Structure 1
Amino acid sequence: MTRIISRVAGQGAYLPERVLTNAEISTFVDTSDEWIQARTGIRERHVAADGETTADLGHAAALAALADAGCGVDDIDLIVVATTTPDLVFPSTAALIQNKLDMRHGAAFDVQAVCSGFVYALAVTDGLLKGGVFERALVIGAETMSRILNWEDRTTCVLFGDGAGAWVLERAKGGKAGLVGYDLRSEGRYSGLLKTTGGVSSTQSSGVLTMEGPAVFKHAVTKISNSMERLIEREKIAIEEIDWFVPHQANQRILEGVADKLKISRDKVISTVAQHGNTSAASVPLAFHQAVNDGRIKRGDLCLLEALGGGLTWGSALVRF
């Protein structure tokens, strides 16, 4: 029986034009470039312009991914968007992007797992493609995290940025390239560690982001490492076979902590946290895009993706590009 896989046909990304540096933040918050870099590794982040929405960012990334895949909107029959900062409560950001693409067929919906969203979206899309329900999908991680920050809280406002990344996944028969496997987890008892202060049902507002940083750091290193260990053991892959480690870009110390715990060479770690900050569900595809563009990740490379976000949610995915 021929094995069905979800192959990465193309990928793309988009970052807002405005760059917000640590030095600029230090003009209105009690912080400094040295303080931020020492604790997070972040130097700057991109911030969406007034009137520029998550759907706008996701649409631009989608167009880049379609161009990279050499296909058009008519070739896509599914859009899955991972976001925690949607344009509207409803309709979904995916539906808004579908309209921006002038796509009049197929299906579109959002996935909400905060920073783990893109990994979750890959898993959901993989199941739908392998099940034969759809043939080719746009999987998008897009965020405007700047819209839910308290810009007076130096412990959180320095961490996040805006951006979007997208993949074209297609159903294919045979071959080795594609989504190899994934591991997804969540634990709602830790929901208070990383959350917003509001919501439609509770406060009729979005509120602002709050985080217990040290606790999240501790959970991130342990839970992400455990997820990746489960995944590579299940898929019978040795850690030495991994060509590139593409983590969620939350904090440089977390990236290095996870790599060291699993004995992954730091030379194999793709890090864009210095330039992008934490772009939540967009961070993994943004980092992947940069590494493809600069020639590090090549076709045939085996990549290990991971993320942890509010929920707490976390997960990992193995992809042979």
Structure 2
Amino acid sequence: MASARDTTVRIRSVGTALPGPAIDNAALGRRMRMAAQWEQWVEAFIGTETRHLSIDLETAKPLFSLADLCETAGRSALAGADLVPEDVDLIVMATASPDMLMPTTANVVADRLHINGVPTYQLQSGCTGAFQALSLAHQLLTTGTYRNALVLGGDVSAKFYDFDVDFAALPPDQLVHYVLFGDGAGAVVLDAEPDPGSAVIRQIFSRLTGLGRGPGQTLDWFGPGDRNADRPPAIEDYKAIEDRVPTMSVEILDELLDDTGWHRDEVDFLLPPQLSGRMTGKIVNLLTLPGAHEVSCVRETGNNGNATPFFQLERVLGQMAPGQRALGISVESSKWIKAGFAVETI
């Protein structure tokens, strides 16, 4: 077992899961009974082309739960790491949309994977939740107490959709929720036994910066006493997000470069925030890393919330050669959290 002083944490494997076929803007627009110019509006202002939903689009009946998706992603990650359930020492999961309040989705997934007798943690968070889960697992592994960790992240946004509403009458802060998001899950196995050619985490952080700021995103819960309340289940303050996320992304990048000592021309891959296709392009231009290859998935998968960084990691780890470096950046608008990581192959 490694000591806390000499522990280097590596990403041993990645697994992901998407529900159902890709749904393009035309199909979504027809289901929402939107006018023909819907597609042009989505492309011009959002920039997302397809997404995967955990419901049947025509009937709105659920087809996949978050536990279903996380189980699939977790199995894939364990297989990629050549681990059996008895090998797992720790589970950390992040989501903004658990299947229920109790039992936690993390424990349901652990049961399905036949993992028992280990610490399990579920973090309630939005887009930066995956970074928070990775950070917590990273810190626990560096204590030398655990050999490995299964880290999960995912969201099922379709549970908040109501296809009986008059979409043409919805205000933008509610309508945009139907366009931005897709459902999915991801998983990684981290361990403290790096091998030559493996990807190691050089830096990772997550920090709340929302003091005195109103939320940019709200997801509500309804109980028996207020399930018929007039307030909407999901709201996006897209203008505030457009204004703040790019600036916060630059601040995260600067902090990662300062912490690692890397120069801008030494970064080979950039994993930018994946709010929407349009926003991602704007942010990448602001970050000014001319030699870095952008690793994005949002145009094809939509914003998958806590699953998104795992889709990006899955793409980039297959491309990284020894000695190459990647930076990941995420901003959570619900209460303005900054998060980032630095990964390097050795």
Alignment-derived partner of residue 103 in structure 1:
115
TM-score of the two chains, using structure 2 as the length reference = 0.85
Which of 194, 202, 205 aligns to 1:180? It is: 202
* Counterpart for residue 12 of structure 2: 9
Between Structure 1 and Structure 2, which shows a larger proportion of strand residues? 1
2:14 alignment partner AA = Q
Q: Shift of residue 147 of structure 1?
A: 1.0
Residue number in structure 2 paired with 1:158: 179
Q: Specify which of 299, 314, 317 is matched with residue 338 of structure 2.
A: 314
Give the deviation of 1:168 after TM superposition: 0.3
Aligned to 2:11, the other structure's residue is in SS state strand
Q: Distance in 2 between matches of 1:113 and 1:299?
A: 33
Kindly indicate whether the alpha-carbon contact (under 8 Å) linking 2:265 and 2:290 is maintained by their aligned counterparts in 1.
no
**For residues 132-176 of structure 1, what are the alpha-carbon distances to aligned partners after superposition, in whole Å with 9 as ceiling and x for unaligned?**
232111111111011124553432211100001111000237978
Distance verdict in 2 for CA 1:10–1:299, change over 3 Å = farther
- 1:83–1:53 distance in 2 versus 1, CA, 3 Å: same
Once residues 255 and 264 of structure 1 are traced to their aligned partners in structure 2, the CA distance between those partners, rounded to angstroms, is: 14
The aligned amino acid for 2:278 is R
Give the Å deviation of 1:51.
Answer: 4.2
TM-score, normalising length from structure 1? 0.91
Question: Is residue 2:50 matched to residue 1:44?
Answer: yes
Q: How does 1:72-87 map to 2 (within 5 A)?
A: 72-87=84-99
Structure 1 vs Structure 2: percent identity of aligned residues? 24
Q: Which of 312, 316, 326 is the equivalent residue of 1:287?
A: 312
Gaps of 5+ in 1: none
CA RMSD of aligned residues (A): 2.5
Runs of at least 5 residues in structure 2 that lack an aligned partner in the other structure: 56-61, 168-173
Q: Note the C-alpha offset of 1:207.
A: 5.6
For the pair 1:303 / 2:326, whether they are aligned, the reply is yes
Does the 8 A contact of 1:5 with 1:174 survive in 2? Answer: no
Aligned with residue 275 of structure 2, among 232, 250, 273: 250
Secondary structure at the residue paired with 1:80? Answer: strand
| Structure 1 segment 115-264 matched on structure 2, within 5 A | 115-149=127-161, 151=163, 152=167, 153-172=174-193, 177-186=199-208, 187-198=210-221, 203=226, 208-264=233-289
Classify the secondary structure of the residue corresponding to 2:312. Answer: helix
SS in 1 for 2:192: strand
Bigger radius of gyration, 1 or 2? 2
Aligned amino acid, residue 181 of structure 2: F
Separation in 1, partners of 2:182, 2:12: 27
How many Å apart are 1:5 and its aligned residue? 1.3
- Secondary structure of 2:22's match? strand
* Structure 1 position 199, deviation (Å): 5.5
1:56 deviates by 0.8
What is the number of equivalent residue pairs in this alignment? 319
Cα separation, partners in 2 of 1:161 and 1:77, compared to 1, 3 Å: same
Distance 1:266 1:210, change over 3 A: farther
Q: Distance in 1 between matches of 2:105 and 2:323?
A: 32
